[in-house]
Structure 1
C-alpha cells in the first residue's frame, strides 16, 4: 500500500496552494485528517475553516485532537465579499507570519456556491502571486456535489496543486493569475460611440467630471463612483501628463473607463491584492472594492481600466 504524503515535498518555506475537489464524505476524511495530524507532528499551527458537514466529519474522526486546532471555525462567518474577506485573511496571515515559521490551513470556501461568492475564484488565483513567499500550506476544499461545473473548472485553473491520491501534484489546468483574471472579467468591447469623454490633467478636474456624469437615478452611490474614479485618475496621472475619462450606460450598468498613455501596469492583478500597510499602496484595490466589477487592459502603450456599477447599486 502506498504511503500517503499529505503535503508531499513541501518544506514549509513558501506557499503551497492545493485545490481538493471531493464528492464523498470518505474522501474528505482520507485527505484532511492525515493533513491535520501531519501538522500536529510537525508542531505547526493548523487552522480549519469549513462548512458544517466537513466540520462534523473532522470532529468525529479527530476526537480529542480537535482541541489542538489553532482555529476551528464555520466558513459562513468569514464571507464579507471578495475584497472584505481577503483583507481580513491578509491581516490574519501577517499576524501568523510574525509569530510562527510555518502553518497550514484547510479551508472550504462554501460561498462559491452563491452567485455573489463566485468572484472568490479571482482572489484564489491572485493569492498564488501575492502570498507566494508566505510559509504555509493552503488546502482548499471544494464539494463537487454543491458547486456548479464552471466554478469547479475555475478551481482547477486557479490552484497550482491538485491531489493525486497519494501526494499533491502539479495541476494540469493551472493558469497564470493575470491570464485567469482576463478570462473571467467582463468582456472588453469597443467603447461605444455615445460615451461621454473628457481629457483630465488633474484629479480635481476628474472628480467634477465624474460627479456630473453619474445619472440622476444612480446618485445613491455617487461617493463610491467618485472615490473609485479618483483613485484610478491619481494612478494614471502619476505616469502620464493626462488621462482620458469616459462614461456610458451599458444596459442597466454605468461604466467608467480611465485610460492613459503611460508605460503599462507592472502587474494587472493589483486590483485584487490587499494594500501593503507599510507602503500605503492600494489605489486599485480600493477602486475595485467600491465597484461591482472591474476589467483592465494594459501594455507598453498604456493602460485602460473599466469599473462597472450595476443597477440597483449595492447598499
Structure 2
C-alpha cells in the first residue's frame, strides 16, 4: 500500500481529530494498521480503545505487534456518561502529556449506538477547542453499518478531518463547536405561563425557589437541581445585579431556567470542558451541566438564559 500517508501533514505538535466511518473489515484494517505501524516506527505511544469486534480484527492482523501498543483495551467499559467519560479521558491525556512528547489514539466510541450515548457528539465537538494544543492524533472509528445515519452525520460535523483514501483531508461538513452544540440542544420554546419566576440577588435564595417546585419522590434529583441552579446563579450574579430563576414541569421532568442581563457567555462550550486545577472560571458550568440531564443556552450581548433539564 505504497503512497499511503496515515497522518498526512500532521507534525505531532497539535491536536488532529479524524472521524473514520467504515463499512467492511477490510476498510477498517487498511486504515488502522498503517496508522498504528507508522506510530510504532516513530517511537510514538499508540493507544487503542475499541469494541470487541474491532479489537479481534486488529489482533489477527497485527499479530505480535499488538504487544507493542501502549494500550489495547475494551471501549465497552469506558462509558460513564458524557461528563464522567470526558473527565477520565482528560485525566489520561494530561498524564500522557506530562510523560511523552506526542502520541496517537485509535478510539471507537461504541456507546454512540445507545440512546444515552448520543450526547457524546457534543463532547467530540468541544474537544476540537479544548484540546487544540494537545500533541496527539485521534483516529475515531465509527461502524457505518451499525450506527444510525443521524449519528454518522454528527460525526462529520464534529471531526475536522476525514479519510481521503490515501491521506486525511478536511471534512466538508465540519462545524464550529459552539455552532454544533447549539444545534443539538433541546429546542428553545417560550416558557409556559405556569412557570414560577423568582428574582434573586444572592445564591442562597435558590434553594427555596427550586425546592418549592419539587414534590415528594424526587430524592437526590432535588439536590442535583438545587446545586446546579446555585452554580448558575452564582455565575450570573458575577455579571448582573440580579438573576431570574424560573421553574416548570414538562412531561415527567423539571426545567429550571436561570437568566441574567450580563454581557453574554464568552464561551458556551465550557460546560462540556473539564476544568483544570489552575482554571479560574468554568467550574460552575461544568458542574451544572454534569448534574442536569440536558442543557440549552440562549446568550447574546444583552444577557444569557440557561435551561437545565432534570428527569424524575
TM-score, with structure 1 as normaliser? 0.97
Q: Confirm whether residue 284 of structure 1 aligns to residue 285 of structure 2.
A: yes
| Whole-angstrom CA distance in 2 between matches of 1:43 and 1:298 | 46
Segments of structure 2 that go 5 or more residues without pairing to the other structure are none
SS of 2:19's partner is strand
Aligned to 2:34: 34
Q: Displacement, 1:97?
A: 0.8
Q: C-alpha offsets along residues 222-281 of structure 1, whole Å, 9 cap, x if unaligned?
A: 111111111100110111110000000112121000000001111011110111112254
| Whole-angstrom CA distance in 2 between matches of 1:221 and 1:170 | 43
Q: Is this contact kept in 2: 1:2–1:166, CA < 8 A? A: no
Q: Is this contact kept in 1: 2:221–2:310, CA < 8 A? A: no
Q: Is this contact kept in 2: 1:201–1:237, CA < 8 A? A: yes
| Whole-angstrom CA distance in 2 between matches of 1:218 and 1:276 | 32
RMSD: 1.1
Q: Displacement, 1:2?
A: 5.7
Q: Is this contact kept in 2: 1:113–1:146, CA < 8 A? A: yes
Q: Confirm whether residue 152 of structure 1 aligns to residue 152 of structure 2.
A: yes
Name the CA shift for 1:62/1:2 in 2 (closer, same or farther; >3 Å): closer
Q: Is this contact kept in 2: 1:44–1:102, CA < 8 A? A: yes
Matches within 5 A, 1:107-122: 107-122=107-122
Segments of structure 1 that go 5 or more residues without pairing to the other structure are none
| Whole-angstrom CA distance in 1 between matches of 2:156 and 2:58 | 24
Q: C-alpha offsets along residues 167-221 of structure 1, whole Å, 9 cap, x if unaligned?
A: 0000000011111111110001111111100001000012221122223343441
Aligned to 2:307: 306
Q: Is this contact kept in 2: 1:18–1:168, CA < 8 A? A: yes
Q: How many residues align?
A: 311
